Structure 1
Amino acid sequence: MKLRAVSTASLLFCSLLASAQADTLSKITDSNRMTVAYRESSVPFSYLAGAGGAVGFSVDLTNAIVDAVKKKVNKPNLEVASMPVTSQNRIPLLVNGTIDLECGSTTNNSTRGQEVAFAINHFYTGTRLLVKTTSGVKNYADLKGKTVASTTGTTNAQVIRKYSASNNLDMNIVLGKDHDDSLLMVEGGRAVAFAMDDILLFGLKANSKDPASLDVVGDSLQVEPYACMLRKDDPAFKTLVDSAITGLVKSGEFEKLYTKWFMSPIAPKNINLNLPMSPQLRDNLKALSDKPAM
């Protein structure tokens, strides 16, 4: 009986803890603090471009959501902390309550949806390849038996591994700890190609030591949406986040932010990615859907 009582108490405690973490607005109100995540090298979404902290399209979305939170909890002087995350630790840090919101370059898919929730999709991308212009690689068939880099904890690593197996390409897949690390593998000759979301590859190329030496090639293997990530089973916070993004869309501010980061020169090298809005994103600005990739 004693063991059963302890077990029941433990389960109750865990349930209460999970419930408290899921109620993000109460957590923020009680602590007078909100912690948001940023990425260090997800150009142009969330990245470091100097000593002033993270910048990017997703950082601007984060700031708009933070403003909505301050208004909702009536705390204009709310303490807001920023924490760097990686592809590998972003979900655990959100689930355990360390961070309250992650807007970076995270794919909204059904598998992740078992652990976390996603806001309205704000970008669409697909896996392609970053290679040296001298590599001779134009598409995936050119990578048979060769070393290909991707980044730990990303859907792209899974996609390229599956594609290699399905097409008998026998690629040697190596994983960098972050996107900069994966890029270095290509620049240093340790990998022939870097498989990643095409928009991130364009951003990494634009801000690399020698952009002219790199090229983005290959067919897009799949189309996946990016979305801000939040804890599951927290409808009040999801409603607030979705409302903040919807407000940006309806006011025209979302399109202005898109133009700022994808159609204009950006820090640190003032290079213009010149990437018009995709048909999928145009459609979702009308639908305002959080539909995941499968």
Structure 2
Amino acid sequence: MTASSTRRTTAAYSRLTAVGAIAVAGALLLTGCGDQTKGKDNGSGSASTSNAPLADKLPKEIRDKGEIKVGSDIAYAPVEFKDSSGNVVGLDPDLAAAMGKQLGVKLTFENGTFDALLTGLRSGRYDIAMSAMTDNKNRQEGVDPDTGKKVGEGVDFVDYLTAGVSIYTRKGDTKGITSWADLCGKKIAVERGTVSEDLAKQEAKKCPSGKKLTIEAFDDDQQSQTRLRSGGVDAASSDFPVAAYAVKTSGGGKDFEIVGDQVEAAPYGIAVAKSDTQLRDALQAALNAVIKSGEYEKILEKWGAQDGAVKESAINGGK
């Protein structure tokens, strides 16, 4: 879930390419995205540490445990969600499985609400957080974007994808919305703690008297989609890969449409505690190995996210 900044992208990603690939994934999988219960398989398999090329880069306690616990909001198709059998699937789990093979450990996804993932990371509930989370300075430094005040220890990010943010409406009922500026006097549904909420708050401050922008924030993106589908709001917003997937799959493609261009392109990052530099560097090495092998490109193509590919993983590349 992309976090806020003020710049807009100069070129939107190719929707036809992304949505076309998403259609293939959508045809193969029944999303079951709203299921927040623990699935039969919430982990990503890996080779044993004795056979893994990068196992020695991991901290000893992780190698001994053979597992990395991953905090994730598992209701954000196609990035991470549960299929009809309750298994955790998506772009992030596939990348995690590929990285696990390099490191010789299993990356186990544990479900949580998005706005509580970094708290869970700081408390030790998770070893890392991987959930379409945007790498930005506020999160790196532990700063509340609304108040500008430091509210906790920041995190480091291992960047793995670039994505922007989109607005979508009910199909054939756009209410004249083509950009964020058109939302004044209307209602929008967003997921709490994401850039969509931040951008909506920023836009609300600009609206003239008598044209209030009403923001309804939910725990997960599926609730936002349900609210829009029922007509309770005029629009919803989420990261472009998620919005495109919803447009393609919800109601067989009859429920929603994307309006306007995506904005705020920024890197997704795997969040790691500041103190866990060895784990952070091991993850970066594993991701770069997956990129170099060509498996990274195949995973992104599978989930319609190839336009957001990076050539090399960066640490804290977000602004």
TM-score band (shorter)? 0.7 to 0.9
Q: Which residue of 1 aligns with 2:189?
A: 149
Q: Which residue of 1 aligns with 2:123?
A: 96
Q: Which residue of 1 aligns with 2:264?
A: 222
- Counterpart of 2:202 (choices 120, 142, 162) is 162
Please list, as runs of the form range in 1=range in 2, the aligned pairs for 1:251-266 lying within 5 A after superposition. 251-262=293-304
Equivalent position amino acid for 2:166 in 1? R
Q: Which residue of 1 aligns with 2:10?
A: none
Q: TM-score, normalised by structure 1?
A: 0.76
In 2: Cα distance, 1:186 partner to 1:143 partner: 14
Q: Which residue of 2 aligns with 1:277?
A: 307
Q: Deviations over 1:261-293 (max 9, x none)?
A: 21xxxxxxxxxxxx6524xx3xx31x5323443
Q: TM-score, normalised by structure 2?
A: 0.70
Please list, as runs of the form range in 1=range in 2, the aligned pairs for 1:64-75 lying within 5 A after superposition. 64-70=98-104
Q: Which one has the bigger helix percentage?
A: 1
Instruction: Tell me, yes or no, if the aligned pair for 2:191 and 2:224 is still in contact at 8 Å.
Output: yes
Number of aligned residue pairs: give it: 247
Instruction: Tell me, yes or no, if the aligned pair for 1:59 and 1:104 is still in contact at 8 Å.
Output: no
Larger displacement relative to structure 2 (162-171 or 231-240): 162-171
Larger displacement relative to structure 2 (138-147 or 25-34): 25-34
| Distance apart, 1:189 and its partner CA | 1.1
| Distance apart, 1:208 and its partner CA | 1.7
In 2: Cα distance, 1:205 partner to 1:39 partner: 20
- Counterpart of 1:63 (choices 97, 102, 105) is 97
In 2: Cα distance, 1:289 partner to 1:163 partner: 31
Q: Deviations over 1:79-109 (max 9, x none)?
A: 7643112211111111111111222211111
In 2: Cα distance, 1:40 partner to 1:235 partner: 26
Q: Which residue of 1 aligns with 2:75?
A: 41
In 2: Cα distance, 1:144 partner to 1:179 partner: 22
Gap runs ≥5 in structure 1: 1-23, 71-77, 263-274
1:116 aligns with 2:143: no
Q: Deviations over 1:100-155 (max 9, x none)?
A: 12222111111111221110x22222222110123233323432211111111212
Equivalent position amino acid for 2:188 in 1? V
Q: Deviations over 1:40-84 (max 9, x none)?
A: 2211111111225111111011112333333xxxxxxx6764311
The structure number with the bigger radius of gyration is: 1
| Distance apart, 1:33 and its partner CA | 4.4
In 2: Cα distance, 1:191 partner to 1:123 partner: 30
Instruction: Tell me, yes or no, if the aligned pair for 1:108 and 1:227 is still in contact at 8 Å.
Output: yes
1:205 aligns with 2:243: no
Gap runs ≥5 in structure 2: 1-57, 142-153
In 1: Cα distance, 2:160 partner to 2:106 partner: 26
Q: Which residue of 2 aligns with 1:53?
A: 87
In 2: Cα distance, 1:108 partner to 1:191 partner: 29
In 1: Cα distance, 2:166 partner to 2:236 partner: 8
Q: CA RMSD in A?
A: 2.4
